Structure 1
Amino acid sequence: MARFPRKKTDRIKGIDRRTLLVGGGAAAGLLIAWGTWPRRYAPNLNAAPGETIVNAFLKIDRSGQIIVIVPQTETGQGVTTILPQIVADELGADWRTVAVQSAPISPLYANTLLARDWLASDWTRLLGDAGDWALGQYATRNALMLTGGGTSVPMFHAACRDAGAAARVLLCKAAAANWDIPWESCDIQNGLISDGGDRRTKIGDVVEQAIGFDLPAILPLRQGQDGRLAGLDLPRLDTPSKIDGSHNFAADIRLPDMVYASIRQGPIGDATLAGLDERSASGVTGFLKLIRQDRWLAAVATNWWAANKALDLADPIFTLRGTPVSSATIDDALEAAFSGTSGRRLYAQGDLLPVFEGATILASEYQVDAGLHLALEPLCATARVTDDGAEVWLATQAPGLARAAVADALGLPESAVTLYPLHAGGSFGRKMDWDVGVQAVLIARDMGRPVQLLWSRLEDVIQDRPAAPAHARMAAKLGRTGAIEGWLAKVAAPCAMTQTWARIADGALPHQAAADTADKATRLAVAGMVPPYAIPNWAVDHYPADVGLALGFTRGNAHLHGTFFTESFVDELAHLAGMEAMSFRIQMLGGNPRLAHCLSTAAAMGGWQGGIAGSGQGIAAHMMNGAYGAVMVEASMRGNRLSVGRIIAAVDVGDQVNPDIARQQIEGGLIYGLATAMGASVPYEGGLPTRAILGRMNLPRLADIGEVTVELIRSTAPPAGVTDLAAPLVAPAIANALYTWTGQRLRSLPLLGTT
């Protein structure tokens, strides 16, 4: 048992009116209160023998190996290649010498971009630049290391570039001092420092000397294209180890004297453990112990199969307070939200009232079911708790918050907890939550030896934090020319991102987080609903709801349902106007040339026939966070099964560092979106999903997917995030395609239902 005194870890609270109005005046109070806080942070990296810490993003050893510090979690999106490629490009390194190390928890690696997007409120927007500054400082000073929302490259591109540039300058200064020449005449290419003539030296030979020099006030960036790595399709650094099996995921960790655990947590909602059969569990070979908490039961054994079998035989019974969640109660809650008092108009332009008054309008209703994550790797963590503190091996998208939660659960100071961040075998946002890490350390403390906790697939599905279900009521009026004159979107949906923050930062239980945010209208719940088209009068209203599900961070977040509502309804309006769907969109994109280019490119590459009856062709376009994309699909029905023959995507995501990885992420997003359209949802009844086997979820198989083409449109714009862009586009494009194939307008996701 740890001997540390009980210490309640301070939870990171959300930014609200009270915390912003500091010292009497909002902006003035913040400036006075926070202006006295420290603003400079030193790297907290460890250096092995022979390694030299150059800056917070870079170490170099004597052999010339370049070790790039990556502050983001690798979930398959390629960030452990892209960020090192930025550093290596600016440094002039040989790609074969580049290695990667995960960053420790530090304010230097705070993701202020995602924090600003996630935590922005009416109050921070009211403060303008001061509110934006406050959110950035809040994220930095709380070391909010967050991975998600496609923010890795936009957030850390400049920092990685500057880290490489700083190292290049220092190394050139060291070499120039040895050669007694101006450092400006030196350069680095392929890992060798040269003076432009015959003199050359290796990076590792002068790195220890280099850190003694000062940097210029303005860092000179590399010029020209000779030897540049940016823009090349360099091989991923994590591919070899994943191919040969040496890559360590959470379930691969092995510690001396380690045992294995499985867990049961009851039905969805406010469930507490009420009883179990201890005697039956004890008969399993290898079984060691049952560990009981208020809300879960874990079995520990010498192997995971035995632990899971013991849980089956223990047959835990849970008491559920409140109404058990079901598909019917979810739908009822969303419909009831439209007549509730918490709805708010969050976006508006022009004046809709005179446009709609006395006019003939088109109105349609849509709905989206909660979408499961279904990552390849179920949640897993390994923990060791000793008298000196705790260690936990965990794939987490929020390492600082996870460490704080572990410390709080054990009653330890955060300094006594070491968190080893691992790569995730898929996530899609699921590993933003840290529950499995807390459970693992509690079990390890009880056992007095290292424990690896792995959730079963059944547990992973039951306790998933899915994407939000949503209902929408769409209305629009067309003008005489066919253009949209008025547009109104009313969306009933809980906010998954608000719930996620309440859990991971404030420590709220899942059912508490859902209930506490049930009356809070927020822009995060209707992201993707602002139409990208030139519509003179439009509005978006949000009606919050408590549907009884704990919801979570996902790929695309609210854009998943927002884009489906918007692009499906635009297609309906095009047919009502008697115009082909692409031209209908293009006529309203005069002020959005990048999206118009994507749309026309996808249509040209796909051989767009105008969406005529029987063509099976559908199209959709969307933009988010500086990324623009359009998708054209060819789809048909084979009996009662959907078949997608072709998917063509044209995207403008800025000047990408590694175009091949960008294509991989767009392709992955397309398949993720296809899963959202076909399955990835389950019906609920009695507080449980009615199925939990992946083979029964109508997920896409290779036979269902034909040709996939991704066109990256050349752009000189800054690189945008690509992980979230494609997923929201697929479902509306398929729905629009099936309308031309069947003549029926499908307004629900999954498109073929969840029965």
Structure 2
Amino acid sequence: MQPDSPTLSRRSLLRGAAAVLGGLVIGIELPARRARADEPQASGAAVNAFVHVPAQGPVSLIMPAVEMGQGVYTSQAMCMAEELEIGLDQVQAIAAPPDREHYGHPIFYVQATGGSTTTMAWTEPLRKAGATARAMLVAAAAEAWNVPASELTTEQGVITHRPSGRTVRYGEVADRAAALPPPANVSLKSPDQFRLIGTRAKRIDTPDKVTGKTVYGIDVMRPGMKFAALMASPVLGGKVEHVDQGPALKVAGVRQVVVLDDMVAVVGDNTWAAEQGLRALDIAWAAGPNATLNQAQLWADTEKASEGPGVTVRKEGDAAGKLKSGTVVEATYELPFLAHTSMETQNCTVHVHDGGCEIWVGTQVPGFAQAGAAQVLGIPPEKVTVHNHLIGGGFGGRLEAAPIVTATRIAQKVDGPVKVIWSREQDIRQDMFRPLYHNRLKARVENGRITAWQHRVTGPSILARWLPPAFKDGIDSDAIDGAAEPPYALGDMLVEYIRHENVVPFSFWRGVGPNSTVFSVESFLDRIARQSNTDPLTLRRGMLEKNPRGLAVLNAAVAKAGWDKPVAGSPFGSRTGRGLSLMHAFGSLLACVAEVTVTDHGDVRVTKVVVAADVGRVINPDTVIAQIQGGVVFGIAAVLHNRITFAGGEVEQSNFNDYRLLRINEMPTIEVELLSSQEASGGIGEPGTVIVQPAVANAVYAATGVQLTRMPLDASLLAKSV
């Protein structure tokens, strides 16, 4: 892309990647190669890579995206079952094995679940897989009865020949169907024919979760299995200097101490024994070059980098020239490192034996897991079997294979299968964190309108490491998503990206780039509104004249929230405020209104959140609403409480006492309105987290006159002087 290219964002990357890579993915000629243990396995004839039809019982649908609480098992099943003409009660969900040829992501190419892309990426391929399977099953029945396929109808897994009254279940012709060549083209239903898509469907994974039947990675039990607890260097990049194993080996149930260059693991008969043995160890660490690393220096280095040269992401007109005169508003916004803190801590069970390796884990990247373990062991990837499980929360943290690599390094020293479990403290301190970001914005304001806009985003590049082909011309399309294509008309524009790396390990985190860019843009707009004595809503509406979808979402949110009415009083404090935000990222448009109360001591309580969303065509409305609600809770914790900081090279936070999540008594009322849309489906796993953070910050700004420029909120800045 040339420096003056008009736009580059996650959405433009997705469109381009889908066009280039889409044909690589919809390979439905061959069956899946492996199924996972300890959970349902595919059975019956493999009509294609996604659909296995047994003689009796439910159809096995091989799910290309991983279920981690976001509801994609149900939405994926709805897409396939819609065209296959079966009910959700006739579906058995099976996780796809590592197999990029058949289950590689249509956008990322690699086999991964993330970026709020499952629905936008897999809806059409899965509908085609269902329609193809149905066509082959109908063809098999027509061949068996020697009648035209056009005379056959299907419903609930039964094929009917109405002229003769004959019927046959899918399972009775599945073997014959699997032997037929797949049709080159199949017709998909029109929206007016949908039975499942767009309906409020109950999640197919809920019953097993409620009854405790679901096996997460942390639940796996294998014959003869041992348990390992680990401790890595508390100083980033430190090494093991000396270990006295004696005290640990005296603990009942401890069987072995595994010493690696950068960590120590204690192996025992159960997790308790392993943890007690780990606590008994006397470990001396060599801190290494990061022993002086501290948070103040990390902030300072990033701020200094933000003043240097950057890569032009978008250039329209002469923003730099216009910003040299007139009324110019300027501000910077900084977002800290954040941990993932999923309910299920990192864990992995590994058995190295007979020249191969088996892995039981919940991962968003089964192919990366397979390759990472193979590299550790020096064996071909096909000798590594990955049994993937449902995940107890991912949030981007399981888009990395590092924990699987660590577990494999330990397991190759252990005889038999071993389950490695990270304690909550190790899960937080040894995480790969959301990057630290810096945003510098300038705007020229004339007669209440913005006529020039500059936005500089500074931070590391996840894509340069995780998906190098997506990092082009020095631009990380994720880092600048939300900055490159804001929903507003902002006059002359200049958007720049400055890649600044530091030694802290970083990864995707629910929202990643838009967390930083949308927060900064929406906070900055409220600052401009205040300084120009303009209502924040009026300012935004004036810039949405050419964006009817964005305006409709904004209007829906403020109408539902009662923007023009006073904020209701609260028992938590006398200062109340209402804040607004709008975003267009992940292929979806959302607007949010948040109401807060601020106590005299500076504590903030979010009392109400209203979100309006246009996510394009909706597969399951209940899932969309639940994802927005969950994202809102996640985002409130981030804006009010969360941060990871370093001192002496060590992470200062260790558990929920100092890395605080939202508590049940702090839950606000959350109202969600979905706007009807026939546009292509967008993503929803991350937008709820992104959109609520600036709305809350803007509400605090309205209540106190203090704007948050570095997350999280600092209560001392909001406290009333006594």
TM-score, scaled to structure 2: 0.89
**Does residue 345 of the first structure (1) align with residue 312 of the second (2)?**
yes
C-alpha distance 501-288 of structure 1, shift in aligned 2 (>3 A): farther
- The 10-residue stretch of structure 1 (197-206 or 616-625) with the greater mean CA deviation from structure 2: 197-206
**Matching residue of 2:71:** 78
Identify the residue that residue 280 of structure 1 maps to in structure 2. Answer: 247
CA offsets per residue over residues 470-492 of structure 1, 9 Å max, x none? 22221111122x11101111232
CA contact (8 A) 2:234 2:651 kept: no
| Deviations 1:145-201 (CA, angstroms, capped at 9, x unpaired) | 011001111111111101111111122223333444321232212222223564432
Match of 2:330 in 1: 363
Aligned residues of 2:320 and 2:454 also touching (Cα < 8 A): no
C-alpha contact 1:642 1:704 (8 A) present in aligned 2:
no
1:149 aligns with 2:110: no
Give the gaps of 5 or more residues in structure 2.
1-22, 36-40, 568-573, 718-722
How far 1:215 moved relative to its partner?
A: 4.4
Q: Does residue 63 of the first structure (1) align with residue 56 of the second (2)?
A: yes
Cα 1:428–1:46 change in 2 (3 A) is: closer
How far did 1:611 drift? 8.7
* Counterpart in the other structure of 1:527: 481
In the alignment, structure 1 residue 265 sits paired with structure 2 residue 232: yes
Q: Where do 1:148-547 residues align within 5 Å?
A: 148-196=114-162, 198-223=165-190, 225=192, 228-324=195-291, 325-340=293-308, 343-480=310-447, 482-501=448-467, 522-530=476-484, 531-547=486-502
Q: State yes or no: 1:684 paired with 2:646.
A: yes
1:101 aligned residue (84, 94, 97): 94
Partners of 1:660 and 1:624 in 2: how far apart? 21
Q: CA deviation at 1:717?
A: 1.2
Aligned Cα RMSD in Å?
2.7
> Structure 1: how far apart are the matches of 2:274 and 2:182?
57
Amino acid at match of 2:660: N
- Residues in 2 aligned to 1:551 and 1:417: alpha-carbon distance in whole angstroms: 27
1:32 alignment counterpart = none
Amino acid at match of 2:619: V
- Quote the Cα distance in structure 1 between the aligned partners of 2:692 and 2:58: 42
Aligned to 1:739: 701
Q: How does 1:675-754 map to 2 (within 5 A)?
A: 675-752=637-714
Deviations 1:285-312 (A, max 9, x none): 1111111111111111111122122122
**TM-score between the two structures when normalised by the length of structure 1:** 0.85
Preserved CA contact (<8 Å) 1:64 1:191: no
Asked if the contact 2:77/2:88 (under 8 Å) is kept, the reply is no
Name the counterpart of 1:589. 544
Which residue does 2:516 correspond to in 1?
A: 561
Q: Compared with structure 1, are the counterparts of its residues 50 and 391 closer, same or farther at alpha carbon in structure 2 (3 Å cutoff)? A: closer
How much does 1:340 deviate? Answer: 4.0
Instruction: Provide structure 1 residue ranges, at least 5 long, that are not aligned to the other structure.
Output: 1-34, 116-138, 506-516
Determine whether 1:634 maps to 2:595.
yes
Query: In the alignment, which residue of structure 2 is the partner of 1:43?
Result: 31
**Matching residue's letter, 1:727:** T
The Cα of 1:46 is off from its aligned counterpart by: 5.7
Distance 1:94 1:710, change over 3 A: same
Distance in 2 (alpha carbons) for counterparts of 1:372 and 1:717: 34
Letter of the 2:427 partner, please give it. Answer: D
Paired residues, number:
678
Distance of 1:572 and 1:731 partners within structure 2: 15
Residues 611 and 740, structure 1, Cα contact 8 Å, conserved in 2? no
Bigger shift: residues 246-255 or 679-688: 679-688
Partner residue of 1:598? 553
The one-letter amino acid of 1:559's match is P
1:552 maps to 507
- Whether the 8 Å CA contact 1:497–1:553 is kept in 2: the answer is no
Change (3 A) 1:620 1:219: same
CA distance in 1, matches of 2:435, 2:483: 14
1:44/1:402 Cα in 2 relative to 1: closer, same or farther (>3 Å)? same
Residue type at the aligned position of 1:412: I
Residues in 2 aligned to 1:200 and 1:64: alpha-carbon distance in whole angstroms: 17
Are the aligned partners of 2:42 and 2:94 in contact in 1 as well (CA < 8 Å)?
no
Q: Give SS of 1:558's match.
A: helix
Q: Is the 8 A contact 1:406 1:438 kept in 2?
A: yes
What's the CA shift string for 1:666-710, capped at 9, x where partnerless?
Answer: 111111111111123133211222231213333211222221111
Shift of 1:95: 1.9
Q: Which whole-Å CA distance do the structure 2 matches of 1:407 and 1:159 have between them?
A: 30
The counterpart of 1:646, out of the listed 586, 605, 608, is 608
Aligned partners of 1:45 and 1:53 also within 8 Å: no
- Say if 1:609 and 1:615, in contact at 8 Å, map to a contact too: no
SS in 1 for 2:276: helix
Inter-partner Cα distance in structure 2 for 1:218 and 1:522: 37
